[in-house]
């Protein structure tokens, strides 16, 4: 593409068959074909918010792989995909259950994405970028994808490329017992770390419920910026002072003594021990489909970070993007652009 990517997202993207009506798949008559994957969702979010972005992964040499490459290219994403002639592109089925629940079925264990290896990673692409984004899904897929993600992180570290990690635990892919140590290792490699509060407890081996305490525990692993996604309760960020726009590893204490300021349900910030704590309440919306909201949040936060916005603006935009994503069916189709975000504070009808 014309502009060199500022961000690279590495991971598996699959074909997606989504039920077009509510009901169990055993009785649904029609499904719509699309694509989906956490890392490519983040790539689309970044691209729509003005960040030149690349997606890297492994696809089957098949029609679904073609669909993935075409859709991402249409979103102005630079696609770096190894095409595997011996394995199909992965597939997931999305079930809309009565009562509003969503269930996703994966068919990916022997797919091309699970055959990703370190040799598939374009070192030069990552070294030239400002940001690398990976998730805990890669090690969940097997040793090869896990090694590929670890290699990409090592390349980024050596080049001074900021490393972003979303824990993104998939309990359908591996057990908590197997996941915890691998996710902890990946989290420790991050400059910017995202986790749900349940994922934070898994990584830390903790039963703690206070989001700030969880964020400080995660920061103790090494990241200089930790964001805890709290769903209907919004989000909390912990940012090391002086490191808000740099990919520099955290150092020193992350204890809780000496807090100054306020941070609570209404949003706000506080300083403590060389760290700034920020909170942002959720934006109330009518939830149609929550799948992809976390990826929208992450992509928007990272886009604002690359734009040089302060941590409060990053968190505010991320919460707004996640809320918008919940209002429309689909894993990525409703990811907002700048005009969508601006319209959230405008009139309900534009003429």
Question: Would you please indicate which residues are annotated as catalytic (active-site) residues?
Answer: 295
- Taking the C-alpha atoms of residue 173 and residue 305, their distance in angstroms, rounded to an integer, is 31
* Selection from 54, 71, 61 nearest residue 16 by Cα: 71
Mention every residue, 6+ apart, whose C-beta is less than 8 A from residue 328.
Answer: 288, 289, 334
* Beta carbons of 69 and 55 less than 8 angstroms apart: no
273: Cα separation from own chain's centroid: 28
* Selection from 321, 282, 278, 284 nearest residue 299 by Cα: 321
| C-alpha torsion 128→131→136→138, nearest 10 | -20
- 267 backbone φψ class: left, alpha, beta (φ>0; ψ -120 to 50): left
* Selection from 125, 151, 108, 142 nearest residue 54 by Cα: 125
């Amino acid at each position: 593409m014309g502009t060199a990517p500022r961000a690279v997202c590495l991971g598996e993207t699959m074909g997606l068959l989504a039920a077009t009506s509510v009901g169990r798949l055993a009785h649904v008559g029609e499904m719509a074909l699309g694509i989906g994957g956490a890392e490519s969702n983040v790539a689309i979010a970044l691209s729509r918010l003005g960040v030149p972005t690349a997606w890297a992964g492994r696809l089957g040499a098949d029609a679904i792989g073609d669909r993935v490459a075409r859709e991402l290219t249409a979103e102005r994403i630079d696609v770096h995909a190894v095409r595997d002639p011996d394995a199909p592109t992965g597939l997931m089925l999305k079930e809309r259950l009565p009562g509003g629940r969503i269930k996703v079925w994966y068919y990916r264990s022997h797919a091309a994405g699970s055959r990703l290896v370190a040799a598939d990673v374009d070192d030069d692409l990552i070294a030239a970028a400002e940001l690398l984004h990976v998730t805990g899904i890669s090690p969940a897929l097997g040793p090869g994808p896990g090694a590929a993600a670890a290699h990409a992180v090592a390349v980024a570290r050596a080049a001074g490329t900021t490393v972003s990690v979303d824990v993104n635990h998939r309990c359908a892919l591996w057990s908590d017992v197997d996941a915890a140590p691998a996710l902890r290792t990946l989290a420790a490699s991050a400059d910017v770390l995202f986790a749900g509060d349940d994922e934070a407890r898994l990584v830390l081996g903790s039963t703690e419920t206070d989001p700030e305490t969880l964020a400080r525990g995660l920061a103790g692993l090494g990241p200089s910026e930790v964001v805890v996604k709290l769903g209907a309760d919004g989000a909390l960020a912990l940012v090391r002072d002086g490191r808000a726009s740099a990919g520099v590893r955290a150092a020193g204490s992350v204890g809780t003594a000496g807090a100054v300021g306020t941070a609570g349900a209404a949003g706000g910030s506080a300083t403590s021990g060389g760290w700034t704590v920020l909170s942002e309440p959720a934006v109330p919306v009518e939830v149609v489909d929550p799948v992809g909201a976390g990826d929208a949040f992450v992509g928007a936060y990272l886009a604002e970070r690359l734009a040089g916005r302060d941590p409060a603006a990053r968190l505010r935009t991320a919460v707004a993007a996640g809320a918008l994503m919940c209002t429309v069916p689909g894993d990525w189709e409703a990811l907002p652009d700048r005009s969508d975000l601006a319209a959230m504070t405008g009139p309900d009808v534009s003429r």
